[in-house]
Amino acid sequence: MRTTAKPSAVKHYSSPGSRVFDTLNVIVLGGLALITVLPLLYVLAGSFATEGEIRARPFFLWPENFVTSTYAFIFANDTLLRAMITTVVVTAVGTVLQVTLTFTMAYPLAKRYLPGRTLVLNLVIFTLVFGGGIVPTYLVVRDLGLLDSYWALILPLAINPFYLIIVKSFFQELPQALEEAARIDGCNEMGVFLKIVLPLSKPIIATFSLFYAVGIWNDYMSPLLYINDNQKWTLQVLVRQLTSPDAANAIGALDSAAFFPAQGLKFAVVVIATLPILCFYPFLQKHFAKGVLIGSVKE
């Protein structure tokens, strides 16, 4: 009876220098992780602490008296709720629109037979190097009548040229035989795009949806420049106003209430502004690792 020998496991021999490097690497990266995480934990703990404890204790990771009055104040306040709802709606609509425009522009540019393709690609690459600047962009938004409009937060950043080039490269790597088979079956270009290309693009759709959503959610400059009505403030502008040295003006914009936790409110608003994006990462993790490099290199 003939037997095949199993391959022996590869032994890893580490030198003293590599062990020292690994130890230092763990120490340095662990220290950087603590530097990153500890402020977040402090803000989270402070949002559940009383005002007296926040003033008395310069740093803590667990409050002595666990209270939720700050969050109760936030969800009972029309200004803060309005800012949260505005940010969620603008992020959702903007992400759908930006992903749609990016993918529908990248797909035809991936076709080498498209007339004028080189000119359009050169113009896209040109915008990666040169930008119009804040003042010209503001003038365009003003002349289009978009000031104090939520569209001013979406349309000026509708297509990211860097994302567009990556998506175009991904479309170019898809097997042409699939598209040709779909055309033989009677699909037109729109049918090929919707029924063949998009189902194969789920990882990259998830990745760039996340990128666009984070960009819109964290956008502070656009609402600061284009939104003058404080009733249309997004959450990031409200966070900036509440955490600035001149927070009294923002506090005055809030609806009157019997309870106002000044410092705890700042912590709680920061937590609310950060938590939604952190919650999205676990659901997109399986697509994120694969999609982040798709289209960037050729196999």
Alpha-carbon torsion, ordered 190, 154, 88, 282, to 10 deg: 60
Residue ranges per structural domain of the chain: 1-67, 77-296
* CATH number of 77-296, picked from 3.40.50.1110, 1.10.150.20, 3.30.70.20, 1.10.3720.10: 1.10.3720.10
User: Using the 8-state DSSP alphabet, how is residue 1 labeled?
Assistant: -
pLDDT of residue 187: 81
pLDDT at 260: 53
Instruction: Tell whether the torsion through CA atoms of 256, 258, 262 and 266 is positive or negative.
Output: negative
Three-state secondary-structure class, residue 125: helix
What pLDDT, on a 0 to 100 scale, did the predictor assign at position 256?
A: 45
Question: What is the number of other CB atoms lying within 10 angstroms of the CB of residue 22?
Answer: 11
Residue of 210, 251, 218, 252 lying closest to 234 (CA atoms): 218
Residue 242, Cα to own-chain centre: how many angstroms? 22
Ranges of residues in the chain whose predicted pLDDT is under 50: 1, 8-10, 256-259, 295-299
Four-point Cα dihedral 168, 169, 170, 175, nearest 10:
100
The pLDDT, as a whole number, for residue 2 is 52
Q: How many CA atoms lie within 13 A of 217 on its CB side?
A: 20
155 secondary structure, DSSP code? G
pLDDT at residue 295, rounded to an integer: 47
CA distance 121 to 170: 15
Whether the Cβ atoms of residue 210 and residue 284 lie closer than 8 Å to each other: yes
